[in-house]
Chain A
């Protein structure tokens, strides 16, 4: 059964810092990996989707990388801002007999201090 782990569980940084969030998964036979942002009491907003054949995706100040063979992904946030404060979730699709669902990590709660 696929398991997804996110480290650290919580992170607090001063505004302007670059930071990296980590995601690891146990079964490398994935179809894609998706990073989401969740604000308190709100739904999930998709940030980046990386297909299994890709190594990275970029959107603005965000860059996500994928190393499928080692079961790792990172989300890099450049020049962090207080508005980046949220919980960041990674999720993988496929493997473990089911290609139709996402398996989520527990998230990293990010606080960017002004």
Chain B
């Protein structure tokens, strides 16, 4: 089944403890991105990747890192999480540029930073 998977789905952690949220797609998509969703603010893009080893900042990249060493994986790294990073996170992918291709979203990761 073609899909985008994220792990973990739920995570509660404490301030400053490094964490990684994994994202994987099995559709051979070139483009991948991370969004966070907050009440009243909608979905905002954190980082995106056009292809392997190519990443760039979205609208709200502060406090996050990403890597794209393999085409199928795009992990989101929080080196020192803070409470304002409590949010619902979504990974998405599309065949190529988001301009022309439908984006597919993962099921979401609900992160709580205490």
A-side interface residues toward B, CB under 8 Å? 31-32, 34, 36, 41-46, 49, 51, 89, 91, 93-94, 99-102, 104-107
Contact = CB atoms under 8 A, between A and B. Distances in A.
Interface in B21-55: 31, 33, 40-45, 48, 50
B62 interface: no
Given A89-B43, A100-B50, A101-B45, A44 B99 contact: no
B103 A99 contact: no
B45 A102 contact: yes
B100 A46 contact: no
A84 B82 CA distance: 36
B79 interface: no
The 7 closest A-B pairs by CB, nearest first: A31-B99, A44-B105, A104-B43, A43-B107, A43-B105, A101-B45, A106-B42
B90 A31 contact: no
A106 B40 contact: yes
A45 B90 CA distance: 12
Provide the main secondary structure of the chain A interface.
strand
Nearest to A99: B99
Given A89-B43, A107-B42, A34 B102 contact: yes
B107 A93 contact: no
Given A51-B100, A101-B45, 15 more contacts: A31-B98, A31-B99, A32-B99, A36-B105, A42-B108, A43-B4, A44-B92, A46-B102, A93-B98, A94-B99, A99-B99, A100-B33, A100-B56, A102-B43, A104-B42
A92 B112 CA distance: 29
Contacts of A91: 43
